[in-house]
């Protein structure tokens, strides 16, 4: 089997294929350097829920529940930590407009059966003393957690390195290889080498659309949504001890602060419909720090580590594109937008079922909403039944 893309989605596909006993070649010039590298790793189906995206929320809830077992399996297979932390999240509001928006979201949570406990701002400060002085509302979301995407990616690389018949090649795919009848036979890389495979999984993030544009019968209308995130260092600030993920809105602008065990603190993230995907901007950094310090003023004292900008692959309906296509030999896994890390375990389950051809009955059942991620849904629009 051939996997095009070495981010978390591509490596998950390679890992599950290898566990099925398939020989796997994965192509990526710089594995994990795309959206995976910028991601904060929030496992937040509740605080990521929004109106009109109930199907996506159902997928996120299902995948979040799979994360503990997925992390345990990967850590055992790799000998490395994924950085999974079940510390919960505090969702806070800055002004009254933000508080009213939070109340509307609370109504959505209740309608969808999601758990978010309204607490007083004073109670929130007891849980998290580093919260700012001017807050208007707070919620405790005990089921929204976090994982370290970079650590998880390293664990996937290590797990694959331990497996026979798995090869990671540091080269980009340039073109999909097809038979005279149109079946996908693999890919040609940028140096002209042909990689022939019975099944090709394209998991190349925002590059997936361009790579598949020449394949008749396949429509992957993926677009890049620029996201900027900041990493700070609290390791030399023993007085800074943020214990929870803090998410909030500041005059309707969303922002989050994610503490890591080693002292790293991630602040994010912008969401910009721009083409300069990998170029951090002064305005983006300013906006993130301006709003984050309102929620957690102590970040002012932290050392600056990096700012990262990457393209999130998004589909028109904001749902991922997963599974087999109408073209024999071609499987697609892209379009995860803001939820590539959160949806990794569910993506693994969907791809494993796809690659096996039939579920073996041992995995947890897939949610009904998985049908909405069908990789053929855009290709079949306007095609008579």
Confidence of residue 278 (pLDDT cuts 50, 70, 90): confident
Confidence of residue 357 (pLDDT cuts 50, 70, 90): confident
Cα angle for residues 300, 305, 309 (degrees, 5° grid): 105
pLDDT 10s digits, 254-265 = 999 999 989 999
- Coil, strand or helix: which one is 103? helix
What pLDDT is recorded for position 367?
A: 82
Distance CA 277, CA 308 (A): 10
Q: Is the per-residue pLDDT at 360 higher than 60?
A: no
pLDDT 10s digits, 47-66 = 999 999 999 999 999 999 99
Confidence of residue 277 (pLDDT cuts 50, 70, 90): confident
The mean pLDDT of 189-203, rounded to a whole number, is: 97
Whether cis (ω within 30° of 0) applies to the bond prior to 269 is yes
pLDDT 10s digits, 33-46 = 999 999 999 999 99
Confidence of residue 338 (pLDDT cuts 50, 70, 90): very high
pLDDT 10s digits, 101-159 = 999 999 999 999 999 999 999 999 999 999 999 999 999 999 999 999 999 999 999 99
Distance CA 145, CA 88 (A): 5
Q: Is the per-residue pLDDT at 323 higher than 60?
A: yes
What pLDDT is recorded for position 382?
A: 53
pLDDT 10s digits, 66-78 = 999 999 999 999 9
Mean pLDDT of the chain: 94
Domains belonging to the chain, first-starting first, are 2-44+150-222+317-373 (3.50.50.60), 89-142+224-313 (3.30.9.10)
Report pTM.
Answer: 0.94
Per residue in 70-99, is it b (16+ CB within 10 Å) or e — as a string? bbebbbebbebbbbbbebbbbbbbbbeebb
Distance CA 197, CA 211 (A): 17
Going 59 to 65 to 66 to 67, the CA torsion angle's sign is positive
Confidence of residue 218 (pLDDT cuts 50, 70, 90): very high
């Amino acid at each position: 089997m051939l996997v095009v893309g070495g981010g978390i989605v591509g490596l998950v596909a390679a890992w599950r294929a290898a566990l099925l006993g398939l020989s796997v070649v994965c192509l990526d010039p710089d594995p994990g350097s795309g959206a995976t590298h910028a991601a904060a790793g929030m496992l937040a189906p509740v605080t990521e829920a929004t109106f009109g995206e109930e199907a996506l929320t159902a997928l996120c809830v299902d995948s979040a529940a799979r994360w503990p077992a997925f992390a345990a399996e990967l850590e055992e297979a790799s000998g490395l930590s994924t950085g999974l932390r079940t510390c919960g999240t505090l969702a806070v509001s800055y002004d009254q407009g933000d508080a009213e928006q939070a109340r509307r979201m609370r109504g959505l949570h209740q309608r969808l059966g999601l758990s978010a406990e309204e607490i007083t701002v004073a109670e929130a400060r007891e849980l998290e003393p580093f919260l700012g002085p001017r807050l208007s509302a707070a919620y405790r979301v005990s089921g929204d957690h976090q994982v370290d995407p970079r650590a998880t990616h390293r664990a996937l690389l290590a797990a694959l390195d331990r497996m026979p018949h798995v090869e990671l090649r540091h080269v980009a795919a340039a073109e999909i290889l097809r038979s005279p009848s149109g079946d996908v036979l693999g890919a040609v890389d940028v140096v002209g080498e042909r990689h022939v495979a019975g099944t090709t999984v394209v998991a190349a993030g925002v590059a997936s659309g361009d790579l598949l544009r020449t394949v008749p019968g396949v429509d992957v209308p993926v677009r890049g949504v620029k996201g900027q995130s900041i990493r700070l260092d609290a390791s030399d600030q023993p007085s800074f001890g943020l214990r929870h993920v803090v998410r909030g809105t500041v005059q309707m602008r969303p922002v989050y602060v994610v503490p890591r065990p080693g002292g790293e603190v991630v602040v994010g993230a912008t969401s910009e419909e721009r083409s300069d995907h990998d170029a951090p901007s002064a305005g983006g950094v300013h906006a993130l720090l301006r709003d984050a310090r309102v929620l957690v003023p102590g970040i002012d004292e932290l050392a600056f580590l990096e700012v990262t900008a990457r393209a999130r692959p998004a589909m028109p309906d904001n749902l991922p594109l997963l599974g087999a296509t109408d073209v024999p030999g071609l499987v697609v896994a892209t379009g995860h937008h803001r939820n590539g890390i959160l949806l990794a375990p569910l993506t693994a389950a969907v791809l494993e079922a796809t690659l096996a051809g039939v579920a073996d009955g041992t995995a947890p059942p897939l949610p009904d909403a998985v049908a909405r991620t069908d990789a053929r849904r855009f290709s079949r629009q306007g095609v008579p039944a």
